[in-house]
Amino acid sequence: MNRGAWLLGRLAQIVPSFLLIGVVVFVLARLLPGDPMSAMLGDHASDATIARLNAQLGLDQSIPVQFLAFVEGIFRGELGVSIAYRVPVTQLIAERLPATLILTGLSAVIGIVVAVPLAFIAAMRENQWPDLVIRSVFQVGLSTPIFYVGLLLLTVFAAQLHLFPVGGYGEGWADHLWHLFLPACTLAFSFAAILMRSLRGAILQVLTAEFVDFARAKGLRSRLILGRHVLRNALIATVTLVGLHVGSLLGGAVITESVFAVPGVGRLMVESIFARDYPVIQSLTLVLAVLVSLAFLVTDIVQMWLDPRVGR
């Protein structure tokens, strides 16, 4: 099988998974107790009012009929209108998605920049003090809840030292990055911890591989061995991990966005679930599923490029 065919096969796998995600989310949202109108009007509106308004939204129709209408809308490029905000879902998502993308992108970069060098140091000094220090610090990162790390960073670096703004998003690119730096660090903390540990393990494994011994025996300088052989092999592990963690970064964004008042899709998702805002829930899930699938695809492609064995 050549690489092109392999890639096509990968793409073909994505389509049914979207369909499955779409159906599951669509049905699950409607199986949740409550409905958009009683969530919105609260306790005291009359049953007749709620039934009339739900009917206006087409919610009195059967779930398959509603699903077909939704799918049909997708092909027309329409995702429906948010029930709570009364604006097109595409507009809402377009407004909110950039913040989440910048946040998760920035945190992935921070995580990589921090974790990769530290993983090398830890591996090179296995079980010596640098290794122990690095591993214990990241152990804290792994075991501390995200919202707590966030509040801690906010209190120290924003409220007391005034180095960063206390949450928000700002206006313009530079301002966005400045506002999102602390939340990205928060999100990157546990991600970097996982990355560092796995990378350290991968490096240790590569260091004991026969080809490294062979390279050493050939008399190659250790910098060259590290750069050409160990780094390349370790990168494969890193890329896989980063790809797999896009989903959990997006998940972590839900909490981080709330703590730091970042107007991203994570917060929108939480609000929409509580509001039973079906059009937003289903469209957003689909958009996130596309994003995660794309991340997986990119991971596969990069892996293919780094590791000649993949796709053969």
For other proteins, the closer of residues 110 and 268 by Cβ is: 268
Near other proteins by CB under 8 A: residue from 182, 194, 259, 286: 259
The span from the CA of 142 to the CA of 102, in Å, is: 23
The span from the CA of 88 to the CA of 310, in Å, is: 42
For other proteins, the closer of residues 188 and 259 by Cβ is: 259
Question: N- to C-terminal Cα distance for the chain?
Answer: 6
3-state secondary structure string across the chain: CCHHHHHHHHHHHHHHHHHHHHHHHHHHHHHCCCCHHHHHHCCCCCHHHHHHHHHHCCCCCCHHHHHHHHHHHHHCCCCCECCCCCCEHHHHHHHHHHHHHHHHHHHHHHHHHHHHHHHHHHHHCCCCHHHHHHHHHHHHHHHCCHHHHHHHHHHHHHHHCCCCCCCCCCCCHHHHHHHHHHHHHHHHHHHHHHHHHHHHHHHHHHHCCHHHHHHHHHCCCHHHHHHHHHHHHHHHHHHHHHHHHHHHHHHHHHHHHHHCCCCCHHHHHHHHHHCCCHHHHHHHHHHHHHHHHHHHHHHHHHHHHHCCCCCC
Cβ at position 48, least distance to other proteins in Å: 11
Q: How many Å separate Cα 74 from the centre of its chain? A: 23
Under rule CB under 8 A, how many of the chain's residues touch other proteins? Answer: 45
Scan residues 3-32 and list those touching other proteins (CB under 8 A). Answer: 32
Near other proteins by CB under 8 A: residue from 154, 212, 237, 288: 154
By C-alpha distance, which of 256, 285, 290, 95 is closest to 182? Answer: 256
Cβ at position 198, least distance to other proteins in Å: 32
Binding status of residue 279 toward other proteins by CB under 8 A = no
Cβ at position 283, least distance to other proteins in Å: 15
For other proteins, the closer of residues 44 and 218 by Cβ is: 44
Cβ at position 236, least distance to other proteins in Å: 39
Scan residues 53-112 and list those touching other proteins (CB under 8 A). Answer: 56, 84-87, 92, 95-96
Near other proteins by CB under 8 A: residue from 33, 77, 172, 308: 33
Could you tell me the two tokens for 312? 């053969």
For other proteins, the closer of residues 148 and 211 by Cβ is: 148
Q: Applying CB under 8 A, which part among 196-204, 239-247, 252-260, 302-310 lies near other proteins?
A: 252-260
Binding status of residue 151 toward other proteins by CB under 8 A = yes
Near other proteins by CB under 8 A: residue from 70, 120, 138, 260: 260
Near other proteins by CB under 8 A: residue from 199, 237, 246, 268: 268
Cβ at position 275, least distance to other proteins in Å: 8
Near other proteins by CB under 8 A: residue from 263, 287, 298, 307: 263
Cβ at position 156, least distance to other proteins in Å: 11
Binding status of residue 47 toward other proteins by CB under 8 A = yes
Contact residues toward other proteins (CB under 8 A) are 32-35, 38-47, 49, 56, 84-87, 92, 95-96, 151, 154-155, 158-159, 162, 165-169, 258-261, 263, 267-268, 271, 274-276
